[in-house]
Amino acid sequence: PENSIFGSPEKTSEEIPKKSDNSRYLYRQLHRVEKELGSLGPSGFPYPDKYNTAMQQVQGIKGLLELNHPSSSLETAPINGSTSLEESRGSPKKCCQGGLPWWFVFVGWTLVIATSGVSGYFTMMYGLTYGKERSISWLISMLVSFFESLFITQPLKVLGFAAFFALVLKKVEQEEFGEPQLDKSLQYTAYAGFMWMLLLVAYGQRDPNAFFLTQHIRQSFSKGISDSMSIHNVFNWANTTLLSNLFGEYPDLITDGNSKLVGNARLRQVRVNKDSCHVAFSMQQLKRDCHARYSWELENMGSYGPGWSSAVADNTSQNCDSAWTYQSQGRLRAYPIWGSMMLYRGGGFVVDLGPDSQYSSRALQYLYDNTWIDVYTQAVFVEFTVYNANVNLFCIVTLMFETTATGAFQFRSELQSVRLYQSAGGLHIFVMASEAIYFLFIFYYMVVQGKLMRQQRKAYFRSKWNLLELAIIILSWSALSVFIKRTLLGKRDIEYYQKNKDQ
């Protein structure tokens, strides 16, 4: 019929072969279904009427195809570009056109193993030139690095990237606030400029010379130090290493000849009270020189005579007699300091070592003869400050000896390099300009975030990007306040030193 889907009033030269192929393929499939229904029979259906209906529908569609196409062409002509199910089952699978045979997999694995083995062999042979111990250490480090990367680094990296892409780079619906959004390229340029200014401000305040100055001073004053030192060892170190490095060949300069000693070095110790420990009643008759571990509540803050004799009146003179009188951290202009074992107050019993080696040697001998360090001493600090004009850095040095439960002393050093005098060169001007531009960015972001906060109100705090911008603004102003405070404190300390150069 004219309205049948298998025929049309007008057919092009391309449509006729295509429809013929489709008809032949459909006819073969229907023929196969008819065979399957015949072999199944009516008994295979729960209702015989269903079987008859299915057979009639299949035969009816086949009849329509036979009306539009000769039966000989439907049964014998091959179909272009397609095969029947029987042909596909009977024909063997062919390899991809232009590919390699399947056995090339073994060739590839052989090449991988051979390459790895040969490179590993030559690596080991080259490593043997460094000696057996170093080669074994090298091999162990390679294995440790491999397994660390396999089980720790790479899994953490995968989890980190997954979290980053899920939380940060996921697609977020654009929100409209009544104002046109800035062009993306302009936003990226602004953020790149902001990050550049931030890096200049952050690293402009750092000086690589601080590391070398700190390392040099630490190594100079750590000579003669052991893991466990007695009281005699501490005084021996002070008379040799400490004095020889504090007072160099040139006046007011330490042993390197480049760093000036600012003021005088001083010794400070913190002590605990006698009979401060709690002992069981049955053991009280056996105790001897019992004292508890250091704590702020048990710290000794009394005044004594030489050799820790009975208490005397407060003596605040700046000589060896002040070694027996406690001075608070406010009077010493000091701060609490962390040791290896606990936090110590900035106060204590203090002795100035004086301006030269002879005075310091006599002071140390006086302290040793009068048992200034004894079993109740919990920590001894050597504190001084040096200034290196070549790199324009102050180095605040604290060398501490902490007592252990066995009564021995352990050494620890704390060195902090700071710049109190601002540089006057071109780099300083460039850094100051970067700081000014950075805070112009901060003012701009404050205006933008203020508008968003006024428009969104409570919804503003539900966006992680808004919170990030707000945190950047708060941290930037906090850093500025800390920088100003540091500058004021540095100026105050320099003025104090100018008025009290003998301290």
- Each residue's pLDDT, cut to its tens digit, for the chain (503 residues) gives 444 434 444 444 455 555 667 777 887 888 888 888 777 777 767 777 777 888 888 788 877 777 776 655 565 544 444 444 444 444 444 444 557 888 888 999 999 999 988 887 887 777 777 777 777 777 788 888 888 888 888 888 888 888 777 776 655 555 544 445 556 777 788 888 888 888 888 887 778 888 899 999 999 998 888 888 999 999 999 999 999 999 877 877 887 788 888 888 999 999 998 877 776 666 666 656 677 788 888 898 989 888 888 766 454 445 566 789 999 988 888 889 998 888 999 999 999 998 888 999 999 999 999 999 998 999 999 999 999 988 888 999 999 999 987 888 999 999 998 888 776 566 778 888 888 888 898 998 899 889 988 988 888 888 888 898 899 999 999 988 988 888 888 888 888 877 777 66
Domain final residue pick, 400, 418, 436: 418
Question: Structural domain tally of the chain?
Answer: 3
The answer on 343 and 436 residing in a single domain is no
**401 located within any domain:** yes
Per-residue tokens: 127? 């490593």
Which parts of 128-254 fold into alpha helices (H)?
A: 132-148, 154-167, 184-204, 209-221, 231-237, 243-246
**410 located within any domain:** yes
The answer on 457 and 365 residing in a single domain is no
**240 located within any domain:** yes
The answer on 362 and 239 residing in a single domain is yes
The answer on 375 and 347 residing in a single domain is yes
Q: Residues in the chain, how many?
A: 503
Give residue 337's domain range.
208-276+290-418
The answer on 314 and 213 residing in a single domain is yes
Task: State the amino acid at position 442 in one-letter form.
Answer: I
The answer on 321 and 255 residing in a single domain is yes
**285 located within any domain:** no
**431 located within any domain:** yes
**193 located within any domain:** no
Tell me 46's DSSP state. S
Tell me 275's DSSP state. T
**152 located within any domain:** no
β-sheet bridge partners, residue 253: 260
User: Is residue 341 classed as helix, strand or coil in its secondary structure?
Assistant: coil
The answer on 410 and 449 residing in a single domain is no
The answer on 433 and 362 residing in a single domain is no
Residue owning tokens 């390229």: 185
Positive or negative: CA dihedral 460, 466, 467, 470: negative
Give the C-alpha separation, 347 to 341, whole Å.
17
**181 located within any domain:** no
The answer on 389 and 294 residing in a single domain is yes
The answer on 482 and 453 residing in a single domain is yes
The answer on 432 and 413 residing in a single domain is no
Pairing of strands 393-403, 377-388: antiparallel
